[in-house]
Chain A
C-alpha cells in the first residue's frame, strides 16, 4: 500500500459521508443512517489497518503526507501519525460507530442532519489528531466546533441553546489565543531562520525562542488546551455541556474532545516550548491535583447521574495532566494510556446512563432505586464500567493512573501523594452513585425496567472488553506509545536544562542525602 494516502482517507471518508448524507431525501432517514454506518465503519476499518501496520521500531511520524496548501503563508497540508496520536485515531474510529448505534432509538427526528453533523465531527477530530502543520491543526480545531455546536443545539436537552453557545464561545475564546500564539511562533521562527514554516517537525527541532517569549507563547497554547482539557479552573463549561448534549455527543465529548486538550498539551505546547513547560510545570501540576480532588469531591455531590460522570472526567483529565507534567517517560506513558482508556470507560458509562434515560426520561439519581433487580445486565455493565473507570487493577484505568502517579512520584512527590487521594475519592463517588441507583428495593417504574437488548450489548460490550484487555495486557498499547514518548522527552532534555529524574535518584536521596538533580 506504499503511497496510499491512508491518513487523508481517514479524514476524508467521514466528511464525504457527511456531504453525501446531506442529499438524502428527508423522508428516508434509513438511507442516511446506512451512510452513517458505512462511513464510520469504513473509517474504523482503515484505522484498524493503521494500528496493525504501525511500525513500533521507529520514532518518526509515519504515513506522512506533505503538500503545499497556502504557499503565501507557508501553510502546508501535512498529516502523520506517531505513537501518541495512533490511539486517539483508533479510539475515535471506535466510538463513532458505537455512538451512532446508541443513537438508534434516541434520535428520531431530523436523522439526516444528525448523521451529517456527526460524520463531519468525526472527520474534523481525525484531522486534529493527524495534522502536523500548526495552521492545519487550527483549521480542524475550529472546524470541530461547528458540528458539535449544532449537535448540542439540535438534539440536546432543555437548556441546549445555552449549552451550545457556552461550548462554542468558551473553546473559541481559547482558540483565539492559540491562533495568535501559533502565528507569532511561525513568524519568530521565520525571523530567526529565514524560512517560513508551520511544520511541527521543523518547529520542534528549532530552538530559538527567548525565555519570556517562550513563556508567553506557551500560555497562548495553554489557554486553548486548558479550556478543552478541561483543567481546573477552566472546566466550568463541561458539566453543563455534558448534561445537555445528546448521549452520543456526551460519549464523543468525554471520549475524544476532552483528549484534544491533553493531546495538544502533549504534542504541541510541551514539545515546542520545552523550557517554559519545565518552568511552568509546578503550576500545571497544582491545577491538575486540584482538578483531581475537586472533580472527585464535586462528583460525589451531584444529583444528576450525567453530571457525576462529567465531574469524574475533570478528575480523570487531572491525572492525564499530572502524568504529562511529571515530565517523565513513565508519567507521560500513563497520561497517553489514560487518554486511551478513559474514552472506553467513560464512553461505556455515558452509554449506560443514556439507556437509563431512554427508559425513564430522567437522570436524577433520586428517581432511581434498585434498578439492578429489574435490569441486572444493565447494572452489571454500569458496575464493571465504574470499576474500570476508578482504576481497579485488571482494567485499563488502573494502568493509566498508576503510571501517571508513578511518574509524578519520581519527579514531584508531594503532588503524587495528594493526587493519590483522588483514587480513593473516585471509589467513593462511583460506588455511592451505583448504590443509590442500582441497589435497594425497586419502586414504581424502576421495578418494571426493561433490561438491555442486543443492540445495547453490542454498543457497550466492546468498550468494556477493550478496557479489560488493555488492563490485562497493557504492553500491546505501551509498545506503540513508548518510543514516541521517549522522543518527546529526549527533545525536552535537548532543548532545556531539564534532566529526567530516574527512580534510583529518589532512592539515592532517601539513602545518602545526595541532591535530587
Chain B
C-alpha cells in the first residue's frame, strides 16, 4: 500500500479574535523574562507594573474593539469553532479585565506594605486573568477545561503568596487540593458528555442532541451533573462552597478581591455558556438542580454571613450569597435571565472590589486582623473611608440608589417572568438576612468609640484619606460606578441585554 501523505491542515486562526488573550499572555511572559534580566527589586517591580498595566490596557482596548465588531457584524468563530467571540463572551471578558485591573491597583500598595513586592505576583495575576478571558469565549468543553486550569493554577500560588503567614499557606493548599478535585470531577463530566454525544464542542453537542433522540439519557445527565458540580465549585455555589471562607480569609486581601470578582465572573461565564448553549433542550432536567443550588446558596451564604465576627469571612459568605442571586438569573434560562445575571456580575464586581479594597487598607500589617470590633469608630477616625465602606455594604444589601438594588430587581424580575415566584420570595428573604450581616458591620463602623478605646493608640486623622493614590483610584471608580449603576442604570442594562441576546 502506498503511504498517502495527508497534509496537516491547521485551523484558521483569527488573530484579532484572540487579541485580548495575546495581550495578557504577552505581558505576563515579558514580566517573567524581565525578572530574569533585572535583578534589582525596585526596578523589576516598576517595570513589571508598567508591563502589567500595558497588558491589561491592551486587553481592555481589544475587548472594546471586539465589542463594537461583534455588535455590528455578529459573533466570530475561530480555531475550528473552539473559540466563539460573541457579545456574551466579550461582555464578561470586559468585566474580568476590569476586575483584574482593579485588583492590580489595590495590590501595589499592599505588596509594598507587606514586603512582598515581586514581579511574579503580577505575572501570575495576568496568567490567571488570561485563563478567565479564554473561559468567557470557550466553545468547547476541552477549552473550558484548559481555561479552568490556566486560571486556577496561578491562583493556587497567589493564595499562598504570603508564605510567612500560616493562614495564607493553608489557603493555598486548601484551594489547590479542592480545586484539583473539582477539576477532576469536571473532567469526568466532559468524558461522560463526550461518551453520550460523541463531541466536546458546545454547539456540536447541542446539534447532536437536537438531531438525535437519546435512547437512554443516564450518561448524559450524569455528565452534565458533574459539569455542574465542577463549575459550581468555581463559583462557590452551596454545597460546593466549603473552601470559600477559609481560602478567602487566608489569601492576601487583593487576591481575595480578585477571586471574589474575576474568578466568579469567569466561572459563571462557563457555567452559563455550557448549559445554555450545549444543553438547552435538557433544561427541564437541569433547571431544578440549579433551583436547589440557588436556594441553598442564598440561604447558606446569607445566614453564614450573619454569623461571622470577621469582616473578611463575612464578605466571603456574602460573596457566596451573591452567587445565589446570579444563579436565580441563570435558573430562569431565558435571555432575560442571562441579561440579569450578566448585569448582576457587572455590578457585583464593583461592589465587592470596593469593599475588599477598604478591607485591604484597614488590615494592619500582616493582614490578619479583620474582626468586626476592630472596625468600631471607623466613620469617626476616617470619615471618608468609613462612609465608603457603609456605602458598599448598603449596596451589597441591595438598598435603592445603588447598583446592588437594580441588580437584585433585575434577577428577581427575570425569575418572576419565568414564573419562579417561590425563588424570588426566598431570594428576597435572604436579602433581609444578609442585610443583618452588613448592618452589623455598618453598626460597628458608625458607632463612636468609648473614651477608653479612643485613648489607645489608633491615631486620629481629621479628614482621613491616607490611602495610596492607586487604591484611591479604585475606591473612587468602584464607588462612582456603584452609584451610577443605581441611579441611571438604563445604558448598562442595555449592554447586558445586547450581550445576552448574542449568546
Does residue B424 face the partner (Cβ distance < 8 Å to A)? yes
Residue contact A135 to B490, C-beta cutoff 8 Å: no
Chain A residues whose CB sits within 8 angstroms of the CB of B398 once the complex forms:
142
Does residue B121 face the partner (Cβ distance < 8 Å to A)? no
Q: Which of A147-155, A263-271, A357-365 contacts B (4 or more CB under 8 A)?
A: A147-155
| Complex Cα gap A161–B445 (Å) | 12
CB distance from A194 to the nearest CB of B (A): 13
Chain B residues whose CB sits within 8 angstroms of the CB of A73 once the complex forms:
409-410, 413, 493
| Complex Cα gap A146–B393 (Å) | 12
Does residue A183 face the partner (Cβ distance < 8 Å to B)? yes
Chain A residues whose CB sits within 8 angstroms of the CB of B469 once the complex forms:
none
Residue contact B394 to A146, C-beta cutoff 8 Å: yes
Chain A residues whose CB sits within 8 angstroms of the CB of B413 once the complex forms:
73, 183, 186-187
- Cβ-closest chain A residue relative to B423: A180
Residue contact A153 to B409, C-beta cutoff 8 Å: no
Does residue A488 face the partner (Cβ distance < 8 Å to B)? no
Residue contact B400 to A72, C-beta cutoff 8 Å: no
Residue contact A139 to B405, C-beta cutoff 8 Å: yes
Does residue A70 face the partner (Cβ distance < 8 Å to B)? yes
Does residue B497 face the partner (Cβ distance < 8 Å to A)? yes
Chain A residues whose CB sits within 8 angstroms of the CB of B494 once the complex forms:
72
The residue that A179 contacts in the complex, of B410, B428, B436, with Cβ under 8 A, is B428
Residue contact B493 to A176, C-beta cutoff 8 Å: no
The residue that A143 contacts in the complex, of B399, B410, B416, B435, with Cβ under 8 A, is B399
Residue contact A180 to B412, C-beta cutoff 8 Å: yes
Residue contact B447 to A183, C-beta cutoff 8 Å: no
Does residue B489 face the partner (Cβ distance < 8 Å to A)? yes
Residue contact A169 to B412, C-beta cutoff 8 Å: no
Residue contact A176 to B428, C-beta cutoff 8 Å: yes
| Complex Cα gap A68–B489 (Å) | 12
Does residue B439 face the partner (Cβ distance < 8 Å to A)? yes
Does residue A165 face the partner (Cβ distance < 8 Å to B)? yes
Does residue A46 face the partner (Cβ distance < 8 Å to B)? no
Residue contact B399 to A72, C-beta cutoff 8 Å: no
- Please judge, given known A-B contacts A70-B493, A135-B409, A165-B443, whether A180 and B421 are in contact too, CB under 8 Å: yes
Does residue A234 face the partner (Cβ distance < 8 Å to B)? no
Does residue A511 face the partner (Cβ distance < 8 Å to B)? no
Main secondary structure of the interface of A (DSSP, over half): helix
Residue contact B490 to A71, C-beta cutoff 8 Å: yes
- Cβ-closest chain B residue relative to A73: B413
Does residue B242 face the partner (Cβ distance < 8 Å to A)? no
The residue that A180 contacts in the complex, of B428, B446, B493, with Cβ under 8 A, is B428
Near B by CB (< 8 A), chain A positions 54-72 give: 68-72
Does residue B163 face the partner (Cβ distance < 8 Å to A)? no
Residue contact B399 to A150, C-beta cutoff 8 Å: no
Chain A residues whose CB sits within 8 angstroms of the CB of B417 once the complex forms:
187, 190
Does residue A164 face the partner (Cβ distance < 8 Å to B)? yes
Chain A residues whose CB sits within 8 angstroms of the CB of B405 once the complex forms:
139, 142
CB distance from A470 to the nearest CB of B (A): 34
Residue contact B429 to A176, C-beta cutoff 8 Å: yes
Near A by CB (< 8 A), chain B positions 44-86 give: none
Chain B residues whose CB sits within 8 angstroms of the CB of A177 once the complex forms:
425, 428
Does residue A106 face the partner (Cβ distance < 8 Å to B)? no
Does residue A172 face the partner (Cβ distance < 8 Å to B)? yes
| Complex Cα gap A237–B424 (Å) | 26
Residue contact B446 to A139, C-beta cutoff 8 Å: no
- Chain B 160-186 against A: per-residue CB contact (8 Å), 1 yes, 0 no? 000000000000000000000000000
Chain B residues whose CB sits within 8 angstroms of the CB of A149 once the complex forms:
439
| Complex Cα gap A442–B409 (Å) | 59
| Complex Cα gap A149–B443 (Å) | 10
| Complex Cα gap A184–B417 (Å) | 8
Near A by CB (< 8 A), chain B positions 400-417 give: 400-401, 405-406, 409-410, 412-413, 416-417
- Please judge, given known A-B contacts A142-B399, A161-B443, whether A172 and B409 are in contact too, CB under 8 Å: no
- Please judge, given known A-B contacts A72-B497, A139-B405, whether A153 and B399 are in contact too, CB under 8 Å: no
Does residue A145 face the partner (Cβ distance < 8 Å to B)? yes
| Complex Cα gap A383–B339 (Å) | 60
Instruction: Write 10 A-B pairs (CB below 8 A) sorted by A numbering.
Output: A68-B490, A70-B489, A72-B494, A73-B409, A143-B401, A145-B399, A172-B435, A173-B432, A180-B425, A187-B413
> Can you add 6 more A-B contacts, CB < 8 Å, to A176-B431, A184-B424?
A72-B494, A143-B400, A154-B446, A161-B443, A175-B432, A180-B425
Instruction: Return the 7 tightest CB-CB contacts between A and B, nearest first.
Output: A176-B428, A139-B400, A183-B416, A72-B493, A143-B400, A187-B416, A180-B425
